[in-house]
Amino acid sequence: MKIFFILVFFIINFQSFGLSDDFNFKKIVNLNNPWGSSFINNEEIIITEKSGKIKLANVVTKKIIEIKHNLNFLEYGQGGLLDILYRDNKLWISYTEDRGNWKTSTSIAKAKFDKEELIFENIFQANPPIDSGYHFGSRLAIKDDYLFATAGERGQGMIAQDGTKHPGSIIRIHTDGSIPKDNPKFKGKSKWLPEIYQIGVRNPQGLTLSPYDEKIYISNHGAKGGDWFGEAKKGENYGWKILGWGGTNYSGTKIGPKWKPGFTKAIQYWVPSIATSAITIYKGKEFNDWNGHALITSLKDKSLRKLIFDDIENVKEKIVFKNEIGRIRDIQVHPNNGKIYFLAGNFLWLMEKK
Protein backbone atom coordinates (compact mmCIF):
# COMPACT_ATOMS: atom_id res chain seq x y z
CA MET A 1 0.00 0.00 0.00
CA LYS A 2 2.82 2.42 0.89
CA ILE A 3 4.52 1.73 -2.45
CA PHE A 4 1.21 2.39 -4.22
CA PHE A 5 0.83 5.86 -2.66
CA ILE A 6 4.43 6.75 -3.42
CA LEU A 7 3.85 5.75 -7.05
CA VAL A 8 0.64 7.82 -7.26
CA PHE A 9 2.43 10.84 -5.74
CA PHE A 10 5.22 10.53 -8.30
CA ILE A 11 2.78 10.29 -11.23
CA ILE A 12 0.76 13.34 -10.07
CA ASN A 13 3.87 15.45 -9.66
CA PHE A 14 5.30 14.25 -12.95
CA GLN A 15 2.16 15.39 -14.74
CA SER A 16 1.71 18.67 -12.91
CA PHE A 17 5.29 19.79 -13.32
CA GLY A 18 5.41 18.82 -17.00
CA LEU A 19 8.87 17.30 -16.68
CA SER A 20 11.03 17.71 -19.72
CA ASP A 21 11.00 14.19 -21.20
CA ASP A 22 9.89 15.70 -24.50
CA PHE A 23 12.65 18.33 -24.71
CA ASN A 24 16.37 18.63 -25.09
CA PHE A 25 18.26 21.48 -23.43
CA LYS A 26 21.59 22.59 -24.86
CA LYS A 27 24.02 25.22 -23.65
CA ILE A 28 24.93 27.48 -26.53
CA VAL A 29 27.36 30.01 -25.00
CA ASN A 30 28.67 31.02 -21.58
CA LEU A 31 27.70 34.47 -20.31
CA ASN A 32 27.95 36.62 -17.20
CA ASN A 33 24.57 37.47 -15.66
CA PRO A 34 22.73 37.96 -18.97
CA TRP A 35 19.52 40.04 -18.97
CA GLY A 36 18.07 40.79 -22.42
CA SER A 37 18.30 39.40 -25.94
CA SER A 38 16.98 39.83 -29.46
CA PHE A 39 17.52 37.91 -32.69
CA ILE A 40 19.37 39.83 -35.40
CA ASN A 41 18.83 37.14 -38.03
CA ASN A 42 18.41 33.35 -38.16
CA GLU A 43 21.90 32.75 -36.74
CA GLU A 44 22.82 35.73 -34.56
CA ILE A 45 21.34 36.91 -31.27
CA ILE A 46 22.41 40.04 -29.41
CA ILE A 47 22.60 39.83 -25.61
CA THR A 48 23.06 42.26 -22.73
CA GLU A 49 24.91 41.39 -19.54
CA LYS A 50 23.74 43.32 -16.49
CA SER A 51 27.35 44.18 -15.61
CA GLY A 52 27.67 46.26 -18.78
CA LYS A 53 28.66 44.16 -21.79
CA ILE A 54 26.81 43.69 -25.05
CA LYS A 55 27.57 40.46 -26.88
CA LEU A 56 26.67 38.91 -30.22
CA ALA A 57 26.32 35.13 -30.25
CA ASN A 58 26.03 32.84 -33.25
CA VAL A 59 23.62 30.05 -32.28
CA VAL A 60 24.97 27.76 -35.03
CA THR A 61 28.74 28.14 -34.66
CA LYS A 62 28.54 29.13 -30.94
CA LYS A 63 30.99 31.93 -31.62
CA ILE A 64 30.54 34.99 -29.41
CA ILE A 65 31.96 38.49 -29.70
CA GLU A 66 31.73 41.61 -27.54
CA ILE A 67 30.52 44.89 -29.05
CA LYS A 68 31.79 48.20 -27.70
CA HIS A 69 29.24 50.83 -26.66
CA ASN A 70 29.03 54.31 -25.15
CA LEU A 71 26.21 53.90 -22.58
CA ASN A 72 26.55 55.86 -19.33
CA PHE A 73 25.27 52.99 -17.19
CA LEU A 74 25.58 52.07 -13.53
CA GLU A 75 25.35 48.50 -12.27
CA TYR A 76 23.53 49.11 -9.02
CA GLY A 77 21.49 46.45 -7.22
CA GLN A 78 19.02 45.07 -9.77
CA GLY A 79 20.15 47.63 -12.34
CA GLY A 80 22.66 47.64 -15.17
CA LEU A 81 22.17 46.85 -18.84
CA LEU A 82 18.65 45.49 -19.20
CA ASP A 83 16.57 44.69 -22.27
CA ILE A 84 17.63 45.02 -25.91
CA LEU A 85 15.55 44.92 -29.08
CA TYR A 86 16.55 44.75 -32.76
CA ARG A 87 14.52 45.82 -35.78
CA ASP A 88 15.49 47.00 -39.27
CA ASN A 89 19.20 47.42 -38.54
CA LYS A 90 18.52 49.46 -35.39
CA LEU A 91 18.80 48.65 -31.69
CA TRP A 92 16.91 49.92 -28.68
CA ILE A 93 18.20 49.25 -25.17
CA SER A 94 16.85 49.88 -21.68
CA TYR A 95 19.42 50.40 -18.98
CA THR A 96 20.17 51.91 -15.59
CA GLU A 97 21.52 55.34 -16.43
CA ASP A 98 24.01 56.97 -14.06
CA ARG A 99 22.44 60.35 -13.23
CA GLY A 100 25.09 61.28 -10.61
CA ASN A 101 25.38 60.88 -6.82
CA TRP A 102 24.07 57.28 -7.02
CA LYS A 103 20.83 58.48 -8.56
CA THR A 104 19.72 56.44 -11.54
CA SER A 105 16.85 56.10 -13.96
CA THR A 106 15.43 53.46 -16.24
CA SER A 107 16.47 54.98 -19.56
CA ILE A 108 16.15 53.96 -23.20
CA ALA A 109 18.70 54.58 -25.95
CA LYS A 110 18.80 53.88 -29.68
CA ALA A 111 21.66 53.04 -32.02
CA LYS A 112 22.34 51.88 -35.56
CA PHE A 113 23.39 48.25 -35.43
CA ASP A 114 27.13 47.71 -35.83
CA LYS A 115 29.17 44.66 -34.90
CA GLU A 116 32.18 46.68 -33.77
CA GLU A 117 30.81 49.66 -31.84
CA LEU A 118 27.35 50.91 -30.92
CA ILE A 119 26.85 54.66 -30.60
CA PHE A 120 23.69 55.08 -28.56
CA GLU A 121 21.62 58.22 -28.10
CA ASN A 122 19.06 58.52 -25.32
CA ILE A 123 15.43 58.78 -26.38
CA PHE A 124 13.83 58.45 -22.91
CA GLN A 125 14.69 58.92 -19.23
CA ALA A 126 12.38 57.91 -16.38
CA ASN A 127 12.16 60.93 -14.10
CA PRO A 128 12.84 61.69 -11.36
CA PRO A 129 16.19 59.89 -10.95
CA ILE A 130 16.19 57.94 -7.67
CA ASP A 131 18.86 56.59 -5.34
CA SER A 132 17.66 52.98 -5.26
CA GLY A 133 18.89 49.65 -6.57
CA TYR A 134 15.40 48.19 -6.84
CA HIS A 135 12.65 47.66 -9.43
CA PHE A 136 13.87 49.12 -12.70
CA GLY A 137 11.57 46.99 -14.88
CA SER A 138 12.41 46.90 -17.78
CA ARG A 139 11.33 45.34 -21.05
CA LEU A 140 10.82 46.70 -24.54
CA ALA A 141 8.36 45.90 -27.32
CA ILE A 142 7.64 47.52 -30.67
CA LYS A 143 4.23 47.72 -32.31
CA ASP A 144 4.21 49.50 -35.66
CA ASP A 145 6.01 52.80 -34.95
CA TYR A 146 5.37 52.67 -31.20
CA LEU A 147 7.95 51.65 -28.63
CA PHE A 148 6.50 50.31 -25.38
CA ALA A 149 8.64 50.02 -22.26
CA THR A 150 8.16 49.19 -18.61
CA ALA A 151 9.51 51.39 -15.82
CA GLY A 152 9.58 49.87 -12.34
CA GLU A 153 8.63 51.91 -9.27
CA ARG A 154 12.14 51.70 -7.77
CA GLY A 155 10.81 50.40 -4.44
CA GLN A 156 8.93 53.66 -3.87
CA GLY A 157 5.43 52.16 -3.64
CA MET A 158 2.83 54.87 -4.13
CA ILE A 159 4.94 56.70 -6.72
CA ALA A 160 3.26 54.27 -9.12
CA GLN A 161 0.00 56.20 -8.56
CA ASP A 162 1.59 59.53 -9.47
CA GLY A 163 1.23 60.27 -13.16
CA THR A 164 3.57 63.24 -12.82
CA LYS A 165 6.44 60.77 -12.34
CA HIS A 166 7.55 57.95 -14.63
CA PRO A 167 8.48 55.16 -12.15
CA GLY A 168 5.74 52.55 -11.85
CA SER A 169 4.31 52.98 -15.33
CA ILE A 170 4.09 51.62 -18.86
CA ILE A 171 5.71 53.99 -21.35
CA ARG A 172 4.69 54.49 -24.98
CA ILE A 173 6.76 56.64 -27.32
CA HIS A 174 7.52 56.53 -31.02
CA THR A 175 10.58 54.53 -32.01
CA ASP A 176 12.50 57.79 -32.55
CA GLY A 177 11.62 58.99 -29.04
CA SER A 178 8.90 61.45 -30.02
CA ILE A 179 5.60 61.41 -28.16
CA PRO A 180 2.40 60.01 -29.70
CA LYS A 181 -0.34 62.61 -29.96
CA ASP A 182 -2.96 60.13 -28.75
CA ASN A 183 -1.19 59.24 -25.48
CA PRO A 184 -3.33 59.56 -22.32
CA LYS A 185 -2.02 63.03 -21.43
CA PHE A 186 -3.75 64.41 -24.50
CA LYS A 187 -6.87 62.26 -24.05
CA GLY A 188 -8.17 63.09 -20.59
CA LYS A 189 -5.14 62.53 -18.32
CA SER A 190 -3.77 66.07 -18.49
CA LYS A 191 -1.69 65.71 -15.29
CA TRP A 192 0.18 62.64 -16.56
CA LEU A 193 3.59 62.91 -18.13
CA PRO A 194 3.28 62.69 -21.93
CA GLU A 195 5.18 59.38 -22.27
CA ILE A 196 2.96 57.48 -19.81
CA TYR A 197 0.53 54.92 -21.26
CA GLN A 198 -0.62 53.21 -18.04
CA ILE A 199 0.20 53.52 -14.32
CA GLY A 200 0.15 51.36 -11.20
CA VAL A 201 2.80 48.70 -11.87
CA ARG A 202 5.50 47.54 -9.46
CA ASN A 203 8.37 45.75 -11.20
CA PRO A 204 7.28 44.64 -14.68
CA GLN A 205 10.03 42.48 -16.19
CA GLY A 206 7.98 41.01 -19.02
CA LEU A 207 6.56 42.79 -22.07
CA THR A 208 5.65 41.43 -25.49
CA LEU A 209 3.59 42.09 -28.60
CA SER A 210 1.24 39.27 -29.53
CA PRO A 211 1.52 38.33 -33.22
CA TYR A 212 -2.10 37.13 -33.05
CA ASP A 213 -4.21 39.95 -31.61
CA GLU A 214 -1.60 42.76 -31.85
CA LYS A 215 -2.03 43.53 -28.13
CA ILE A 216 0.79 44.32 -25.72
CA TYR A 217 1.03 41.98 -22.72
CA ILE A 218 2.92 42.44 -19.45
CA SER A 219 4.18 40.35 -16.55
CA ASN A 220 4.78 41.99 -13.18
CA HIS A 221 6.47 41.09 -9.90
CA GLY A 222 4.27 41.44 -6.87
CA ALA A 223 5.72 41.68 -3.39
CA LYS A 224 5.31 38.56 -1.25
CA GLY A 225 2.84 37.07 -3.70
CA GLY A 226 0.77 38.87 -6.27
CA ASP A 227 2.71 38.34 -9.50
CA TRP A 228 0.49 38.73 -12.55
CA PHE A 229 0.16 38.54 -16.33
CA GLY A 230 -2.09 41.03 -18.08
CA GLU A 231 -2.69 43.40 -20.96
CA ALA A 232 -1.39 46.95 -21.32
CA LYS A 233 -4.41 49.26 -21.52
CA LYS A 234 -4.20 52.92 -22.42
CA GLY A 235 -4.99 55.37 -19.65
CA GLU A 236 -5.71 52.67 -17.07
CA ASN A 237 -4.25 51.81 -13.65
CA TYR A 238 -3.09 48.43 -12.32
CA GLY A 239 -3.37 49.73 -8.78
CA TRP A 240 0.00 49.39 -7.08
CA LYS A 241 0.30 50.15 -4.13
CA ILE A 242 -3.39 50.54 -3.43
CA LEU A 243 -3.83 46.94 -4.57
CA GLY A 244 -1.68 44.04 -3.39
CA TRP A 245 -2.86 41.58 -6.09
CA GLY A 246 -3.11 38.88 -3.42
CA GLY A 247 0.34 39.48 -1.92
CA THR A 248 1.62 41.09 1.26
CA ASN A 249 4.61 43.22 2.19
CA TYR A 250 7.79 41.28 2.94
CA SER A 251 7.23 42.16 6.61
CA GLY A 252 3.96 40.25 6.43
CA THR A 253 1.72 43.31 6.68
CA LYS A 254 -1.22 43.66 4.33
CA ILE A 255 -1.06 45.86 1.25
CA GLY A 256 -4.55 45.98 -0.20
CA PRO A 257 -7.14 43.83 -1.99
CA LYS A 258 -6.34 41.60 -4.94
CA TRP A 259 -8.47 43.76 -7.20
CA LYS A 260 -11.36 46.20 -7.02
CA PRO A 261 -13.48 48.07 -9.56
CA GLY A 262 -11.82 51.06 -11.16
CA PHE A 263 -8.49 49.29 -11.69
CA THR A 264 -7.20 47.08 -14.50
CA LYS A 265 -7.74 43.41 -13.74
CA ALA A 266 -4.91 41.04 -14.63
CA ILE A 267 -5.52 37.88 -16.64
CA GLN A 268 -3.62 35.57 -14.26
CA TYR A 269 -2.28 35.99 -10.71
CA TRP A 270 0.28 33.94 -8.78
CA VAL A 271 0.16 33.66 -5.00
CA PRO A 272 2.69 32.78 -3.67
CA SER A 273 5.04 34.62 -6.01
CA ILE A 274 6.88 32.77 -8.79
CA ALA A 275 9.00 35.87 -9.58
CA THR A 276 7.71 36.38 -13.11
CA SER A 277 10.28 37.49 -15.65
CA ALA A 278 10.21 37.65 -19.46
CA ILE A 279 7.20 36.53 -21.49
CA THR A 280 6.27 35.82 -25.08
CA ILE A 281 3.19 34.77 -27.02
CA TYR A 282 4.43 31.73 -28.90
CA LYS A 283 4.33 31.52 -32.69
CA GLY A 284 6.48 28.92 -34.40
CA LYS A 285 6.94 25.50 -35.95
CA GLU A 286 8.84 23.57 -33.28
CA PHE A 287 6.01 23.63 -30.74
CA ASN A 288 3.14 24.34 -33.10
CA ASP A 289 0.49 23.14 -30.65
CA TRP A 290 1.53 26.08 -28.42
CA ASN A 291 0.72 28.72 -31.03
CA GLY A 292 -1.19 31.60 -29.43
CA HIS A 293 -0.30 30.57 -25.89
CA ALA A 294 1.57 32.79 -23.45
CA LEU A 295 4.91 31.51 -22.19
CA ILE A 296 5.82 32.89 -18.76
CA THR A 297 9.32 32.53 -17.32
CA SER A 298 10.15 32.46 -13.63
CA LEU A 299 13.16 33.39 -11.54
CA LYS A 300 12.05 31.96 -8.21
CA ASP A 301 10.94 28.46 -9.13
CA LYS A 302 12.97 28.37 -12.35
CA SER A 303 9.99 27.33 -14.40
CA LEU A 304 8.42 27.86 -17.80
CA ARG A 305 4.65 28.11 -17.65
CA LYS A 306 2.19 27.97 -20.53
CA LEU A 307 -1.08 29.89 -20.35
CA ILE A 308 -4.04 29.27 -22.63
CA PHE A 309 -5.93 32.52 -22.25
CA ASP A 310 -8.24 32.87 -25.23
CA ASP A 311 -11.07 32.64 -22.65
CA ILE A 312 -9.89 34.95 -19.85
CA GLU A 313 -12.67 33.65 -17.60
CA ASN A 314 -11.16 30.17 -17.86
CA VAL A 315 -7.38 30.52 -18.11
CA LYS A 316 -5.54 27.21 -18.22
CA GLU A 317 -1.99 26.96 -16.91
CA LYS A 318 0.60 24.23 -17.29
CA ILE A 319 4.11 24.07 -15.89
CA VAL A 320 6.16 22.99 -18.92
CA PHE A 321 9.33 22.43 -16.86
CA LYS A 322 10.83 23.41 -13.55
CA ASN A 323 14.36 23.48 -12.10
CA GLU A 324 15.99 22.47 -15.37
CA ILE A 325 18.20 25.39 -16.39
CA GLY A 326 18.23 27.80 -13.44
CA ARG A 327 16.65 31.23 -12.96
CA ILE A 328 15.19 32.25 -16.30
CA ARG A 329 15.75 35.88 -17.21
CA ASP A 330 14.72 36.04 -20.88
CA ILE A 331 12.99 34.01 -23.57
CA GLN A 332 13.20 34.31 -27.37
CA VAL A 333 11.56 32.28 -30.12
CA HIS A 334 13.76 31.61 -33.15
CA PRO A 335 12.31 33.64 -36.06
CA ASN A 336 12.49 30.74 -38.52
CA ASN A 337 12.27 27.34 -36.82
CA GLY A 338 10.39 28.23 -33.63
CA LYS A 339 12.92 26.69 -31.25
CA ILE A 340 13.12 28.47 -27.91
CA TYR A 341 16.16 30.20 -26.45
CA PHE A 342 16.54 31.20 -22.81
CA LEU A 343 18.90 33.34 -20.81
CA ALA A 344 19.20 31.40 -17.58
CA GLY A 345 21.96 31.26 -15.04
CA ASN A 346 25.10 32.28 -16.90
CA PHE A 347 24.21 30.67 -20.21
CA LEU A 348 22.24 30.99 -23.41
CA TRP A 349 20.17 27.80 -23.63
CA LEU A 350 18.35 26.13 -26.49
CA MET A 351 15.16 24.10 -25.94
CA GLU A 352 14.03 21.87 -28.77
CA LYS A 353 11.95 18.74 -29.21
CA LYS A 354 13.71 15.40 -28.88
| Section 185-206 average pLDDT | 97
Average pLDDT, the chain: 94
Quick: pLDDT tens for 214-268.
999 999 999 999 999 999 999 999 999 999 999 999 998 999 999 999 999 999 9
How would residue 20 be classed by pLDDT, with cut points 50, 70 and 90?
low
Average pLDDT of the segment spanning 149-159: 97
Residue 198 has pLDDT above 70, yes or no: yes
Q: What is the pLDDT of residue 309?
A: 97
So what's the pLDDT on residue 53? 98
Question: What is the average pLDDT across 124-130?
Answer: 98
Q: What is the pLDDT of residues 162-181, one digit of tens each?
A: 999 999 999 999 999 999 99
Domains of the chain, by residue range, sit at 32-300
Q: What is the mean pLDDT of residues 121-132?
A: 98
> Does residue 4 surpass a pLDDT of 80?
no
Residue range 265-301, pLDDT digits in tens: 999 999 999 999 999 999 999 999 999 999 999 999 9
> What pLDDT score was predicted for residue 8?
41
Q: Which of 138, 153, 159 is nearest to 218 (CA)?
A: 138
Q: What angle do CA 342, 139, 135 make, to 5 degrees?
A: 105
| pLDDT, tens digit (0-9, with 9 covering 90-100), for 45-77 | 999 999 999 999 999 999 999 999 999 999 999
Does residue 6 carry a pLDDT above 50?
no
Asked if residue 331 has pLDDT above 80, the reply is yes
Tell me the mean pLDDT in the region 85-102: 97
The domain 32-300 belongs to what CATH superfamily?
A: TolB, C-terminal domain (2.120.10.30)
